[in-house]
């Protein structure tokens, strides 16, 4: 049963990666922005929830406030800084790395360098007896379900809602979307806000699973980036598949070849990018 | 290379270089050793940024993985000096070899990707190298890295001697790169930036020059990493980390990626600022982040680009240049640039990201027109 527990652990970590990557991939999908401050917003969300929970002791209030405040912060960054750099990928990357550095250092100044754990909702403590020999933490099991549900919600939203249709049209052709009266800048703002909200949401859940410290932002960002790239930039179902694949790869890499742990993730990703840059389910670039 | 009329350059440039070299040579006698450490670091990172710019500013490929070369060079020193008795020339050769080999791997892997995919692929490759250093604990020491790298036997004890040693290596390296960029291969690499399709159409094997750029850049970046390991005395995965890759990009852009010495200037600016800011606050990272933001928003053509822009404008205002326009920074005089072709606006100075540059409002449709603008200024004047 050891392998089953490894599979479940891999899936749970993959679920966390999907929570982080979902915001990253929809931000890219519409705005063609690789937001490297995503890890910073992830941290901000987790730390805010931690701080609020120690003050109010109310889990859901902390979660909602952390997500909303981070989304507003993200929209401020988008409106005042990023929106000047539409379609300029390299300057966007530099700018968002700068934002991430500032966020990380502010958190370090405020909360110190020791790891903190954001709260988990009541009822998910402890473990559950799955089979005779396998005991698995409830929280991680729930996380897998949460990732699947979130993927379904995002896909359904993009597929069936009118805002989703506008978002998709803006993805497909920005100019045509503009000419038929879709307010692309407003879409950009909303999408970026949603992306940072998802980052904060992932920060609360992921922080509860792995704990947070100011320097973990870039670690999680790079793994989420891998997920986004492997899934295909901008593809939500691709990101889901890739997240589970990377989670499993990471788990089994750690168990089977601990000396090669990170290499077993990044080297295959590099190969995939070299031969199939659009990832598993990405769109073909029409440039 | 890009700026100011030729005739004036003939007098001014050699003079400036001579004075500059003299000052650099005499530096250890003038300044206290604390500043000398900073100066040595600037030399090392200046070399790193200049090497990076072969791929970035000249070949127009935005790499986000150059820490891999720098770190590889540093780890060569770390392993060689703590585990073997290899003499310095062998270590130097090894570092160059490792850097070149890694550069060839990077170049080959990047043959088919452009723009944002190139950024991500170089990042993934660098992370793979980082992962090796991080997890192969028995060889690399893992997160702790390798300590106790001695400079004994290299140069006489004392920072001034090591400074002169670094100055020599960096000076020779810069001269070699300067010459390389003027060789036929170097000119073809510059052609990659200007118009890859046109280069291919004229019969150049484009892929080969991409690999060339990465190989040369990797070799000199590894050399810089080697010097850094000797300077600091230790190596750690931070020498391979993503943040270092990002920092060298900012150095190149901040100084001016269109200019040979721009990245060097950028390195000096960032390291100098770090030194200055660190004297009164521990929050250097926030300042660095703000600097990234300012660079991204306002300094896309770098300090040197700004200066050239101002000089061009003040020249216009003085009325010295009427007619077809003053000698712009981007179109060097004497070059085969037809009259009436305007210099690119200053905002376009960043190596364009495969058709989604700032000058193009319509990335998907207007590639053809953008390409004609770019190809109108394909070549630099040959010496």
So what's the pLDDT on residue B346?
39
Do residues A38 and A228 lie in contact, with contact meaning Cβ atoms separated by under 8 Å?
no
Cα(B240)–Cα(B75) distance, integer angstroms = 9
In a domain, A144, yes or no: yes
Cα(A279)–Cα(A240) distance, integer angstroms = 13
Cβ-based burial of B15 (10 A; exposed 0-12, middle 13-18, buried ≥19) = exposed
A191-225 confidence digits (pLDDT tens): 899 999 999 999 999 988 888 998 888 989 999 98
Chain A residues with beta carbon closer than 8 angstroms to that of B117: 273, 277
A221-277 confidence digits (pLDDT tens): 999 988 988 888 878 888 999 999 999 988 888 888 888 888 888 988 889 888 888
Cα(B149)–Cα(B370) distance, integer angstroms = 51
Tokens of B259: 């200019």
Q: Does B167 score more than 90 pLDDT?
A: yes
Chain A residues with beta carbon closer than 8 angstroms to that of B297: 81, 84-85, 91, 95
Domain that holds residue A81: 2-111+137-275
Residue that wins the pLDDT comparison between B342 and B178: B178
Pick B250's closest partner by Cβ from A94, A99, A229.
A94
Hey, of B278, B293, B364, which one would you mutate to test binding to chain A, going by the most A CBs within 10 A of its CB? B293
Q: Does A105 score more than 80 pLDDT?
A: yes
Tokens of B243: 């943040």
Chain A residue closest in CA terms to B122: A270
So what's the pLDDT on residue B350?
47
- Determine whether the interchain pair B120/A34 forms a contact, defined as Cβ–Cβ distance below 8 Å: yes
Chain B residues with beta carbon closer than 8 angstroms to that of A97: 243, 246, 289, 292
Do residues B349 and B339 lie in contact, with contact meaning Cβ atoms separated by under 8 Å?
no
Q: Per residue in B18-42, is it b (16+ CB within 10 Å) or e — as a string?
A: eeeeeebeebbeeeeeeebbbbbbb
Q: Does B102 score more than 70 pLDDT?
A: yes
Q: Which residues contact A247 (CB under 8 A, 6 or more apart)?
A: A10, A11, A12, A13, A14, A15, A16, A17
In a domain, A283, yes or no: no
So what's the pLDDT on residue A28?
81
Cα(A118)–Cα(A127) distance, integer angstroms = 19
Do residues B136 and B125 lie in contact, with contact meaning Cβ atoms separated by under 8 Å?
no
Chain A residues with beta carbon closer than 8 angstroms to that of B291: 98
Residue boundaries of the structural domains of chain B: 32-242
What are A116's strand-pairing partners?
A: A212
In a domain, A209, yes or no: yes
Pick A287's closest partner by Cβ from B127, B131, B364.
B364
So what's the pLDDT on residue A106?
94
- Determine whether the interchain pair B138/A259 forms a contact, defined as Cβ–Cβ distance below 8 Å: yes
Average pLDDT along chain B: 81
Pick B362's closest partner by Cβ from A89, A175, A218.
A175
- Write phi, then psi, for B105 (nearest 5 degrees): -60, -50
Least Cα separation, residue A65 to chain B (angstroms) = 25
So what's the pLDDT on residue A112?
87
- Determine whether the interchain pair B131/A99 forms a contact, defined as Cβ–Cβ distance below 8 Å: no
A262 torsion bin: left (phi>0), alpha (psi -120 to 50), beta (else):
alpha
H helix intervals, B33-66? 33-53
Chain A residue closest in CA terms to B298: A91
So what's the pLDDT on residue B9?
65
Residue B222: closest CA among B60, B143, B104: B104
Chain A residues with beta carbon closer than 8 angstroms to that of B131: 260-263, 265-266
Hey, of B238, B289, B360, which one would you mutate to test binding to chain A, going by the most A CBs within 10 A of its CB? B289
Cα(B12)–Cα(A259) distance, integer angstroms = 56
B303-361 confidence digits (pLDDT tens): 999 999 898 888 877 765 444 433 333 433 333 333 333 333 333 444 444 333 333 33
Name the packing angle between helices B115-135 and A216-231 (round to 10°): 130
DSSP tag of A115: -
Chain A residues with beta carbon closer than 8 angstroms to that of B355: 287
Chain B residues with beta carbon closer than 8 angstroms to that of A270: 109, 121, 124-125, 128
Residue A225: closest CA among A254, A265, A264: A265
Tokens of A9: 């652990």
Residue B269: closest CA among B280, B245, B253: B253
Cα(B287)–Cα(B86) distance, integer angstroms = 41
3-state secondary structure of B259: coil
B126-155 confidence digits (pLDDT tens): 999 999 998 888 888 888 889 888 887 777
In a domain, A214, yes or no: yes
* Average pLDDT rounded to a whole number, residues A54-73: 93
Chain A residue closest in CA terms to B347: A88
**Can you give the CATH number for the domain in which A257 is found?**
1.10.3470
Tokens of A208: 């509860």
State which of B40-44, B158-162, B279-283, B353-357 shows the largest mean pLDDT.
Answer: B40-44
Q: Does A17 score more than 80 pLDDT?
A: yes
Residue that wins the pLDDT comparison between B113 and B346: B113
What are A212's strand-pairing partners?
A: A116
Q: Does B3 score more than 60 pLDDT?
A: no
Chain A residue closest in CA terms to B137: A259
Cβ-based burial of A269 (10 A; exposed 0-12, middle 13-18, buried ≥19) = buried
Count the domains in chain A.
1
A149-207 confidence digits (pLDDT tens): 999 999 998 888 888 888 777 767 778 888 988 888 888 888 899 999 999 999 999 98
Residue that wins the pLDDT comparison between B285 and B7: B285
Least Cα separation, residue B122 to chain A (angstroms) = 8
Pick A222's closest partner by Cβ from B127, B253, B353.
B127
Chain A residues with beta carbon closer than 8 angstroms to that of B107: none
Intra-chain end-to-end CA distance of chain A, in Å: 49
- Determine whether the interchain pair B124/A101 forms a contact, defined as Cβ–Cβ distance below 8 Å: no
- Residue B5's pLDDT band (boundaries 50, 70, 90)? low
């Amino acid at each position: 049963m050891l392998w089953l527990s490894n599979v479940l652990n891999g899936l749970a970590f993959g679920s966390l990666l999907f929570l982080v990557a979902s915001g990253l991939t929809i931000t890219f999908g519409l705005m063609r922005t690789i937001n490297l401050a995503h890890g910073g917003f992830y941290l901000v969300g987790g730390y805010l929830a931690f701080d609020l929970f120690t003050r109010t002791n109310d889990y859901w209030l902390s979660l909602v406030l952390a997500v909303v405040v981070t989304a507003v912060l993200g929209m401020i960054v988008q409106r005042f800084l990023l929106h000047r750099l539409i379609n300029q990928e390299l300057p966007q990357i530099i700018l968002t790395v700068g934002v991430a550095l500032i966020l990380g250092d502010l958190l370090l100044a405020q909360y110190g360098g020791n790891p903190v754990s954001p709260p988990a909702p009541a009822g998910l403590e402890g473990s559950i007896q799955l089979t005779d020999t396998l005991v698995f933490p409830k929280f991680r099991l729930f996380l897998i379900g949460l990732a699947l549900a979130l993927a379904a919600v995002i896909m359904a939203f993009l597929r069936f809602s009118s805002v989703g249709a506008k978002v998709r049209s803006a993805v497909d052709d920005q100019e045509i979307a503009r000419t038929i009266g879709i307010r692309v800048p407003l879409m950009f703002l909303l999408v970026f806000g949603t992306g940072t909200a998802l980052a904060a949401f992932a920060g609360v859940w992921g922080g509860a699973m792995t704990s947070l410290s100011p320097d973990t932002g870039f670690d999680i960002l790079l793994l989420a980036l891998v997920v986004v790239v492997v899934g295909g930039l901008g593809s939500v179902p691709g990101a889901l598949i890739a997240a589970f694949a990377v989670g499993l790869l990471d788990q089994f890499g750690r168990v089977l070849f601990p000396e090669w742990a990170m290499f077993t993730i990044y080297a295959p990703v590099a190969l995939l990018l070299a031969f199939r840059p659009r990832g598993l389910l990405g769109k073909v670039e029409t440039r | 290379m890009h700026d100011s009329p030729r005739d004036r350059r003939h007098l001014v440039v050699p003079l400036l270089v001579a004075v500059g070299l003299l000052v650099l040579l005499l530096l250890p006698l003038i300044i206290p050793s604390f500043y000398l450490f900073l100066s040595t670091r600037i030399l090392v990172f200046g070399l790193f940024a200049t090497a990076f710019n072969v791929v970035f500013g000249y070949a127009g490929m935005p790499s986000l993985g150059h820490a891999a070369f720098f770190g590889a060079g540093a780890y060569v020193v770390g392993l060689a000096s703590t585990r073997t008795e290899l003499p310095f020339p062998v270590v130097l050769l090894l570092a160059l070899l490792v850097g070149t080999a890694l550069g060839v791997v990077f170049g080959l892997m990047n043959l088919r990707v452009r723009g944002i995919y190139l950024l991500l692929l170089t990042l993934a490759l660098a992370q793979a190298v980082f992962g090796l250093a991080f997890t192969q604990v028995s060889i690399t020491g893992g997160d702790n890295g390798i300590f106790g790298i001695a400079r004994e036997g290299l140069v006489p004890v004392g920072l001034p001697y090591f400074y002169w040693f670094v100055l020599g290596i960096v000076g020779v390296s810069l001269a070699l790169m300067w010459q390389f960029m003027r060789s036929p291969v170097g000119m073809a690499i510059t052609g990659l930036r200007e118009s890859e399709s046109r280069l291919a159409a004229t019969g150049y094997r484009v892929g080969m020059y991409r690999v060339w750029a990465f190989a040369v850049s990797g070799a000199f970046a590894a050399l810089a990493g080697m010097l850094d390991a000797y300077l600091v005395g230790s190596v750690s995965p931070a020498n391979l980390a993503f943040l270092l890759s990002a920092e060298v990009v900012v150095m190149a852009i901040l100084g001016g990626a269109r200019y040979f010495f721009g990245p060097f200037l950028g390195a000096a600016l960032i390291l100098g600022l770090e030194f200055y800011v660190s004297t009164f606050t521990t929050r250097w990272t926030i300042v660095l982040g703000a600097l990234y933001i300012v660079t991204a928003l306002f300094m896309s053509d770098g300090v040197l680009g700004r200066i050239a822009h101002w000089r061009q404008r003040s020249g216009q205002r003085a009325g010295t240049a009427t007619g077809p326009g003053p000698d712009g920074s981007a179109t060097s005089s004497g070059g085969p640039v037809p009259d009436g072709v305007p210099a690119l606006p200053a905002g376009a100075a960043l190596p364009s990201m495969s058709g989604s540059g700032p000058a193009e409002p319509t990335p998907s449709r207007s590639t053809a027109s953008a390409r004609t603008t770019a190809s109108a200024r394909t070549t630099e004047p040959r010496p």
